Amino acid sequence: MKHFVLSLLFFPLIAYAQPRVISGPMLAGVELRDVRVWTEVSSDVKSVSIRYGKSGTEQKSEALYYGALGKPFNPITVTVGGLEPNTAYDYTIYINGKKTDRTGSFTTKELWQWRKPAPDFSFLAGSCSYFNEASYDRPGRAYGQDSSIFIPMAKEKSEFMLWLGDAWYTREVDYFSEWGLWNRASRDRSLGVLQPLWKAMPHYGIWDDHDFGPNNSGKSYELKETSRQVFNAYFPNKSCGENGQGIYTKIQHNDADFFLTDDRWWRSDDRTRDSINGAPNPDKRMLGPQQMEWLKDALLASNAVFKFIVMGSQALNDVSPYDKWTDFPVERQELLDFIRFYKINGVVFMSGDRHHSEVIKMTRAGTYPLYDVTVSPLTSGTHVFDGPEKNNPLRVFGLDQRNNYGRFTIAGPKGSRKLTVDFLGTKGEKLGSWEVSETDLKTPR
């Protein structure tokens, strides 16, 4: 009897120790003829593969993971190639040659160019997702709010999810520990409430201060090299900066381009003076010269109707008391002048960070206005519009005191496409909306 009892007590430990999938699958990118599937597996996994086939058929092919395994943290990405455009596929993850219960499906992009008008589509966006961990959170009221917001998000029929920074929040126990940075991303990514969302649609992301390092951190953060490795492992965008620096990249979907910028790698400390002896300080930068050169060139090369410049910090809100590009006046003006000089149409800024959602409008004499659409927070604490922002004259839409996500829809005939942004609550209920037409974002002739 004693032996029987010990066996029952010991069995759960053995079961838990079996090689397993920790989180995922997550779609990390879907293109015309290939897809990247992300997952994280336990350190004792020896091999990972994905078996896939066209939906409704029995024939299966296999894509293998060829990288290293056996590390304390094992986020991996498998590329499945040789697919057909606009085709639905099903897939299953195998570990050590055995089938798991981790399955999913995807549909490759449609080859519409030179054949038909750009298809209508929608995507989701949001920022600031804090997940409570009482042992390491600050004392007092829990900062993380209702995580059930991810349930209606997973049910959205959207093409992808765009994370606008602070996808996880490092804590004091994480800031100066390489293991801590890896553990924070791994722990939060594995939470059960997120799993349906990961496989529902592709995911792309930028970082802000909390998934980069300490609050308001920038280029002097001593573990930023590790932070970059962690971020790229958990958000394996198609590229990540240049010359081993930064995480900026670009994605395309139908007639929209998304310029995903990095507001931390080169960021001067916020206490650096905006001006010296009455003149704007050219040494205070957020994007940095390398990234700015890339962004300008990428904007010039784009033929997209809508060109989304995605930032962790707000780009156009002049009265915010917190992180904003206005505090880096020379650099911001450099890009605004560039957009005007080259008559680049269709520019819309997107941002997170602020724990409220809003649309800021910048009127520009002689040309079209610029907008900054902020979507925040997903699960972090909210606040009330107050101080200089209470009646911000630049705000054309505002939503405070509510956790929310954004659904962006681009639709309409060629030449008069329209962008609609719906702000949705924790149950998927509509809290407000804003829209703009492509004709409103064109330089007058």
Q: Helix (H, G, I), strand (E, B), or coil: what is residue 145?
A: coil
CA 254-26-94 angle, to 5 degrees, is 130
Mean pLDDT, residues 301-319 taken together: 98
Q: How far apart are CA 130 and CA 78, in angstroms?
A: 28
Query: Can you give the pLDDT at residue 2?
Result: 39
* pLDDT value, residue 10: 36
d(CA 9, CA 233): 36
Which of these, 389, 405, 399, 395, lies nearest to 371 by C-alpha position? 395
| Residue 442: both structure tokens together | 């064109």
Tell me the C-alpha distance between 136 and 175, whole Å: 12
Place of tokens 């009455």: 278
Rounded-to-integer distance, Cα 129 and Cα 146, Å: 10
Task: Provide mean pLDDT across the span 362-381.
Answer: 98
Q: Give the model's pLDDT for residue 11.
A: 36
Tokens (6 digits) for 399: 């939503």
What confidence score (pLDDT) does residue 18 get?
86
Q: Which residues are within 8 A (CB) of 423 and not within 5 positions of it... i.e. 6 or more apart?
A: 357, 375, 399, 404, 405, 406, 430, 431, 432, 433
Query: Is 40 in contact with 24 (CB distance < 8 Å)?
Result: yes
pLDDT for residue 129 is more than 70: yes
Q: What does the alpha-carbon distance between residue 12 and residue 28 come to, in Å, rounded to a whole number?
A: 33
Task: Give phi and psi for 76, each to the nearest 5.
Answer: -135, 160
Quote the pLDDT of residue 5. 38
pLDDT at 3 over 80: no
How far apart CA 111 and CA 134 sit, in angstroms, is 49
Q: What is the largest CA-CA distance in the chain?
A: 89
3-state secondary structure (DSSP) of residue 203: strand
Between the CA atoms of 111, 117, 120 and 121, what dihedral angle is there, to the nearest 10 degrees? Answer: 30
- Burial-class residue 281 by CB neighbours within 10 Å (0-12, 13-18, 19+): middle
Does residue 4 carry a pLDDT above 50? no
Instruction: Report which DSSP code applies to 281.
Output: -
Greater confidence, 377 or 17?
Answer: 377
Helix axes 289-301 and 329-341, enclosed angle (nearest 10): 20
The SS3 call for residue 68 is coil
Averaged pLDDT, 299-305: 98
Q: How far is Cα 11 from Cα 309, in angstroms, rounded to an integer?
A: 52
Region for residue 22 given its phi and psi (left: phi exceeds 0; alpha: psi -120 to 50; beta: otherwise) = alpha
Mean residue pLDDT across the chain: 95
User: For the whole model, what pTM was predicted?
Assistant: 0.95
pLDDT at 1 over 60: no
Q: d(Cα 353, Cα 312) in Å, to the nearest integer?
A: 6
Q: Indicate whether 422 pLDDT > 70.
A: yes
The DSSP call for residue 376 is -
pLDDT > 90 fraction of the chain, expressed in percent and rounded: 95
Whether residue 277 has pLDDT greater than 60: yes
Residue 163, pLDDT > 80, answer yes
214-271 pLDDT tens trace: 999 999 999 999 999 999 999 999 999 999 999 999 999 999 999 999 999 999 999 9
Provide DSSP, 174-196: TTT-HHHHHHHHHHHHT-GGGHH
Mind listing the domains of the chain with CATH numbers? Answer: 19-107 (2.60.40.10), 121-441 (3.60.21.70)
pLDDT confidence of residue 13 = 41
Q: In sequence order, what DSSP letters do the residues of 309-353 get, joined into one string?
A: EEESSBSS-TT-SSSBGGGSHHHHHHHHHHHHHTT--SEEEEE--
The pLDDT confidence band at residue 176, using thresholds 50, 70 and 90, is very high
Tell me which residue of 161, 162, 147 sits closest to 207, measured CA to CA: 162
Split at pLDDT 50, 70, 90, the class of 316 is very high
Confidence (pLDDT) at 17:
63
User: What tokens does 78 get?
Assistant: 């498998």
Residues 6+ apart with CB under 8 A from 297: none
* The dihedral sign for the CA sequence 21, 25, 29, 33: positive
Tokens 């593969």 correspond to what residue? Answer: 49
Supply 393's token pair. 């004259």
**51 to 67, 93, 105, 362: CA distances (angstroms):** 17, 7, 11, 50
